[in-house]
Amino acid sequence: MNTANASAPATDPTVREYAGADAWSLTGVITRLRRVLRSSVRQEFPWESLPMAQVEVLQRLADEPGMGVSDLAERQRLATNTVSSLVQQMVTSGLLERTPRPGDRRAVNLRLTQSGTEILAAWQAANDRRLGQALERLPEAYQNVIENAVPALAALAALLETEDQTQNPARQNGTRP
């Protein structure tokens, strides 16, 4: 995987570090990117007002509304009791609503409230601004490479999720191996 480009400064140590990147380099750059995005958006959203675990639950339920706690735990790869506690906090703070699942009084469907939807939209807008401003400062060739890489990275994530579910049946009940 060689993404080095002649339009980037050859002396830039960040570019040299990832030229001819392997799987470990990809993991490192993704981790670094997530970390810097999380920390930069914290200027608008302090940790205590919107923990990352809550952001991830909001994102998942925005994409897949109506999930139950067990399904959410499985998809997030967390223990069911952890997700149950997280959901309770989010219901109490007005970000999520629980509705009884028809035919099963013990099960619930989870959905974002209006407040949850608005907070998630604000979080995403803050990330879009931060990332957009940074992308605009990159050489156009890098902008194009990143834009073209997004579908491939999404496919890679989906493949890894599917393999993880197949190879780690303990995750099927929301527990961690």
State pLDDT tens for residues 22-39.
777 888 888 898 888 888
CA neighbor of 74 nearest in space, from 83, 86, 62: 83
Tokens read off for 43:
């200027």
Residues above pLDDT 70, as percent of the chain: 81
pLDDT of residue 29: 87
Q: Categorize the per-residue pLDDT at 50 as very low, low, confident or very high, splitting at 50, 70 and 90.
A: confident
Phi, psi at residue 105, to the nearest 5°?
A: -60, -25
Dihedral of CA atoms 42, 46, 48, 50 in degrees, nearest 10, equals -60
pLDDT of residue 135: 93
More confident residue, 65 or 173: 65
Please indicate, yes or no, whether the overall pTM of this predicted structure exceeds 0.75: no
Q: Categorize the per-residue pLDDT at 17 as very low, low, confident or very high, splitting at 50, 70 and 90.
A: low
